[in-house]
Amino acid sequence: MRLPLAIPVIAGSLALILSACGGSTPDGEGGSATSGTLRVVAGFYPLAYAAEQVGGDSVEVINLTPPGGEAHDLELSPQQVAEIGEADLVLYIPGFQPALDEAIAQVAPDRALNVTEALTLLPAEDHAHEGETSHEGEEPHADEHSTLDGDPHVWLNPLNMATIGDEIATRLTALNSSGAFAAGAQALTESMNALNEEWAQGTAECRSRDLVVSHEAFGYLAAQYDFAQIGIAGLSPDAEPSPARIAEVADLVRERGVTTIYYETLVDPSVAETLAAETGATTAILDPLEGLLEGSTGDYVTGMQANLAEVRAGQGCS
């Protein structure tokens, strides 16, 4: 395989061409290939976090989703499309952010990394077919630009984050072999293993293993730590929930003695509140970590630790 060696050459020359075209680009002179710093554009926060951990000071990471923005609904400004065009590596999950998929197809088809390629995906289940979850995770399609054939919320399992880090390291090393990317990936893997251990121990003994969430973002987390995810709305946070579904979940909550209904930081809590008022349960925030809140000083690890605390309290873990 000689192809990977060609990528830095193409990427470098493209960066030079593009920076030559855009005379107003502040760091246009020199270009990324010669300055030694690789430019990585990430679709949203967890991918940016992984790239920062792997790349350290040798990469400049740009996160396209603004703080407080909903990652699903990303809209790109012309400047951001230019940044994608100038990037050495673009990290994305196909189908998760349609605007980014389109931009990649237009300006960076050869420099994009579909971070789910090395992962085993869970099926994207329709909420109406709860209980038929026995089918095996399906392999992703080879076609990088098609929508993802499975649940996209892969980053909520720390071990997946470690795998994503390894993938990023492989690509970055191909771009610049002098970088210490393998060491960065190793450090990320260690911290993700520690986080996984913390979660596994923290959720080993719980009163309830039914995780009732406002939208089904927590499939990988639930699968990893032996919870059953019960989503009120489906995979997309915007869908209007049907009254019958709310009634069905309300019955389930009462029947199984669920005491906490989780909603997300960036999505309207009214569905969770309706269900909580219906059943006498309380609500709590579970952060899908698609983005950080404005002014947040935490990172992926502290976010997952905060989630662990919420789950331990809500599920009665000892």
Partner 1 sequence: MGMLGYDFMQRALIAAALIGLIAPLIGVFLVQRRLALLGDGMGHVALTGVGLAFLTGLAPVPTALVVAALGALVLELVRAKSRTAGDLALALVFYGGIAGGVMLTSLASGKASTALNQYLFGSLSTVATEDIAWLVGAGALVVIILLIFGREMFAMTLDPDVAHVQGIRTTRLGILLTVLAAVTVVIGMRTVGLLLVSAIMIVPVAAAQQFTGSFRATALVAVGLGLVCSLAGLTTSFTLDVPPGPTIVLLALAVFLVAAVTAYPVRRRRQRHPHPAEEHHHG
Residues contributing to the site for partner 1 (CB under 8 A): 65-70, 73-75, 128, 238-247, 250-251, 266-268, 270-271, 273-275, 277-278, 294
Rounded to the nearest whole angstrom, what is the least distance from the CB of residue 70 to partner 1 in the complex?
Answer: 6
CB of 226 to partner 1, least distance (A): 29
For partner 1, the closer CB: 169 or 249: 249
Q: Which CB, 136 or 294, lies closer to partner 1?
A: 294
| Rounded least distance, CB 129 to partner 1, Å | 12
Cβ proximity to partner 1: between 23 and 295 the closer is 295
Nearer to partner 1, 201 or 270 (CB): 270
| Beta carbon nearer to partner 1, 291 or 314 | 291
Q: How far is the CB of 303 from partner 1 (least distance, A)?
A: 19
Taking the complex as a whole, how short is the minimal distance between the CB of residue 92 and partner 1, in angstroms? 17
Give 23 or 78: the residue with its C-beta nearer to partner 1: 78
With 0-12 / 13-18 / 19 or more C-beta atoms within 10 angstroms meaning exposed / middle / buried, residue 243 is exposed
Nearer residue to partner 1 within complex by CB, 69 or 158: 69
Residues 6+ apart with CB under 8 A from 251: none
Measured torsion, CA atoms of residues 3, 5, 7, 10, in degrees rounded to the nearest 10: -110
The residue (of 156 and 233) whose beta carbon lies closer to partner 1 is 233
Angle at 85 between CA 79 and CA 89, to 5 degrees: 120
Residue 165 burial (C-beta neighbours within 10 Å; 0-12, 13-18, 19+): buried
Q: How far is the CB of 231 from partner 1 (least distance, A)?
A: 14
Min dist. Cβ of residue 15 to partner 1 (A): 26
To partner 1, the closest distance from the beta carbon of 179 in angstroms equals 30
- β-pairing, 282-285 vs 89-92, is unpaired
